[in-house]
C-alpha cells in the first residue's frame, strides 16, 4: 500500500497533469527569450519606479514560508506599516488621489501576483515620469492596462485583476517599440 499510495499514484497523477495541463503543471512559468523569468501565479518584487509595483509582501515574496503578518485591525504595528506605505506611495506617485487598498495591504499568502485595475491606473503618472515619456504614452499605458485586465473566473469568482509581471513585460515592449 505504501508503494502504491506513496510512489505509483503520485507519479501517475504528476505524469497525467504534465500531459493534460503542461503549462499549469510546470508552474505557469512566464519566459522571456526562452528563459523563465517568473510565474503567472507568484508575485515578485518590483521597486524600480519605471515599473508597476505589486501588492506588498510580508514575506518579501519568498515562497518559503509564505503567509500574512497575523497583525489584527487593532494592531499599532499594522497601523504604522500602512501609514508608511501610504506616505511612500503618495510621495512617489505625486498623487492626491486615495491610494488603492491593495497597494497598502499584503495578501494572505504574501505572494499575490495581481493588483486591481485601479492600482495599475494609480501608478501611470509615476511610470511616465520615471521613463521620461510624453503624454501620448500616458494614454498608451492606460490602454495597455485595459488590455491586461483579467475578468473574474467563470464570470463571478474573484475581482477584475492585472498580473503585474505580464503588465511590466508588456510595458517594456511598448516603450521599446515607440
Question: Are 106 and 68 contacting, i.e. CB atoms less than 8 angstroms apart?
Answer: yes
Do 67 and 92 lie in one domain? The reply is: yes
C-alpha cell at 122: 494609480
Do 11 and 94 lie in one domain? The reply is: no
Residue 131: is the preceding peptide bond cis (ω within 30°)? no
Spatial CB neighbours of 92, under 8 Å, sequence gap ≥ 6: 49, 126
Do 89 and 145 lie in one domain? The reply is: yes
Do 3 and 47 lie in one domain? The reply is: no
Residue 33 placed within a domain: no
pLDDT in tens, the chain (178 residues): 999 999 999 999 988 888 888 766 667 788 888 888 888 888 888 999 999 999 998 887 777 777 777 788 898 999 999 999 999 999 998 777 899 999 999 888 878 899 999 999 999 999 999 999 998 999 999 999 999 999 998 888 889 999 999 999 999 999 888 7
Do 85 and 17 lie in one domain? The reply is: no
- Residue 85, domain extent: 40-176
Q: Report the predicted TM-score, pTM, of the whole model to 2 decimal places.
A: 0.82
CA dist 65 and 19 (Å) reads 29
Q: Which of 47, 51, 45, 46 is nearest to 127 (CA)?
A: 51
Do 49 and 22 lie in one domain? The reply is: no
Is the Cα dihedral 84, 56, 154, 36 positive or negative?
A: positive
Residue 9 placed within a domain: yes
Do 167 and 89 lie in one domain? The reply is: yes
Number of domains in the chain: 2
Do 19 and 45 lie in one domain? The reply is: no
Amino acid at each position: 500500500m505504501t508503494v502504491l499510495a506513496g510512489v505509483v499514484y503520485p507519479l501517475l497523477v504528476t505524469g497525467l497533469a504534465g500531459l493534460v495541463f503542461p503549462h499549469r503543471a510546470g508552474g505557469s512559468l512566464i519566459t522571456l527569450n526562452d528563459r523563465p523569468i517568473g510565474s503567472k501565479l507568484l508575485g515578485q518584487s518590483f521597486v524600480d519606479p519605471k515599473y508597476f509595483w505589486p501588492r506588498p509582501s510580508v514575506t518579501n515574496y519568498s515562497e518559503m514560508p509564505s503567509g500574512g503578518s497575523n497583525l489584527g485591525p487593532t494592531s499599532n504595528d499594522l497601523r504604522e506599516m500602512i501609514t508608511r506605505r501610504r506616505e511612500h506611495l503618495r510621495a512617489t506617485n505625486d498623487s492626491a488621489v486615495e491610494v488603492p487598498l491593495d497597494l497598502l495591504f499584503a495578501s494572505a499568502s504574501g505572494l499575490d501576483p495581481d493588483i486591481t485595475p485601479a492600482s495599475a491606473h494609480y501608478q501611470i503618472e509615476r511610470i511616465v515620469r520615471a521613463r521620461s515619456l510624453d503624454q501620448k504614452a500616458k494614454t498608451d499605458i492606460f490602454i495597455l492596462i485595459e488590455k491586461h485586465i483579467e475578468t473574474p473566473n467563470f464570470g463571478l469568482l474573484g475581482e477584475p485583476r492585472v498580473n503585474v509581471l505580464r503588465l511590466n513585460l508588456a510595458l517594456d515592449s511598448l516603450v521599446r517599440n515607440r
